[in-house]
Amino acid sequence: MTLTDIAPDDNQEVEAAASTTIYVCITCRRASDPEDDVRPGLLLARATARAAEGTGVTVRQVRCLANCSRALSAAIRRDDAWTYVFGGLDADRDAAALIDGAKLFARAGDGLMPWRGRPEILKRGLIARVPPIDFEEDSE
Amino acid sequence: MTLTDIAPDDNQEVEAAASTTIYVCITCRRASDPEDDVRPGLLLARATARAAEGTGVTVRQVRCLANCSRALSAAIRRDDAWTYVFGGLDADRDAAALIDGAKLFARAGDGLMPWRGRPEILKRGLIARVPPIDFEEDSE
C-alpha cells in the first residue's frame, strides 16, 4: 500500500482527471509491422483504456495524429490548457505512463504538464505542444 | 491579375479565415544560431503577421511549441477543427505558405486541412495533428 492508496482526496483526483483526454493513434505501426496485423497503436489504445479505469481520465481512439515517423503516438489534452503530442510509445510498456502523465497534468494549476514527476517516456517522447485557444503571450 | 483577385466572395473568405489562428514559435532557433541574435522564430512570426494583413487570419506569438529539433515551428488551429503543427519552416520563405494554408483550412467543411492545394512546406513539414475537442472516431 502506498500513500496514494490512502490519500483522502481520491475523489478530487478523479474529478480533476475528468477534464483530461488521451487520444491514442490507432493507425500507428512501425515500418517492419505486417500490414494486416492488429496495429500496435490499437493495442496501445486498448491498454490505455484499461489503465484509465477508475481514474477519471478519458481515453479516445483516433485515426492518425500524423506523427507516423515517430510512432506510436498519443496526444493529451485538457480543457483550457495546453495540448501535448507524444511519440516513440510502446504498446506493451507505456499505457501507465500516459495515465500518470494525464493525472499529473490534471492537477497543474497553470495549464502546463509539469516536467518534474513526468514519466520519462513523456519527456524524451515529447513531439510538440500547442497552447490553449485564445492563448496570448504577454509580450515579445 | 488572377481569378482570385476578382472573386466576388472576398468578404466571405476573410470572414471564414477569422476563425483560424496561426501560432508561431518565437523561441525557435537553429543549433548554429548565436544565442543573443534575434531568434529566427520571431522573424517568422513578424513576417507571418505582415502576410496576414487583410486576410482575416490571426497570428499569435508563442514561446515554445516544443518542436525544437525540427524548428522553425508553427501551429494552425481553427475552432471546432483539427490543430496542425508544422516544422522545418524558414523565416525568409514560409510566411506566405502559412497564410495560404490557414486560408485553405478555413474553407474546409470537414475540419481537416486539405492535402490538395496545400503549400509544399505544409506537407513535408507536417509534424502532428490533433483532433478537435470532443472528437470521437465512429468505431475501431
Lowest mean pLDDT among A92-101, A131-140, B44-53, B123-132: A131-140
pLDDT band at A37 (very low <50, low <70, confident <90, very high): confident
pLDDT band at A32 (very low <50, low <70, confident <90, very high): confident
* Res A7: pLDDT: 53
Of B126, B130, B136, Cβ closest to residue A130: B130
* Residue from B61, B83, B138, B139 to probe the interface with A (highest A Cβ count within 10 Å): B83
Alpha-carbon gap: A67 to the closest alpha carbon of chain B (Å) = 5
* Res A1: pLDDT: 46
Lowest mean pLDDT among A33-42, A53-62, B29-38: B29-38
Contacting residues of B for A40, CB less than 8 Å apart: none
pLDDT band at A128 (very low <50, low <70, confident <90, very high): very high
Residues in A 13-52 with any Cβ partner in B closer than 8 A = 21, 23, 26, 42
Alpha-carbon gap: A11 to the closest alpha carbon of chain B (Å) = 23
Enter the ipTM.
Answer: 0.87
pLDDT band at B140 (very low <50, low <70, confident <90, very high): low
Classify residue A2 by burial, with Cβ atoms within 10 Å: 0-12, 13-18, 19+: exposed
DSSP structure class, residue B132: P
- 8 Å CB contact between A126 and B64: no
pLDDT above 50 (res B6)? no
Alpha-carbon gap: B9 to the closest alpha carbon of chain A (Å) = 27
Between these two residues, A5 and A110, which has the higher pLDDT value? A110
Q: Indicate yes or no: CB of A26 within 8 angstroms of CB of B140.
A: yes
Residues in A 86-125 with any Cβ partner in B closer than 8 A = none
Q: Outline where chain B has alpha helix (H).
A: 10-17, 40-52, 95-106, 120-124
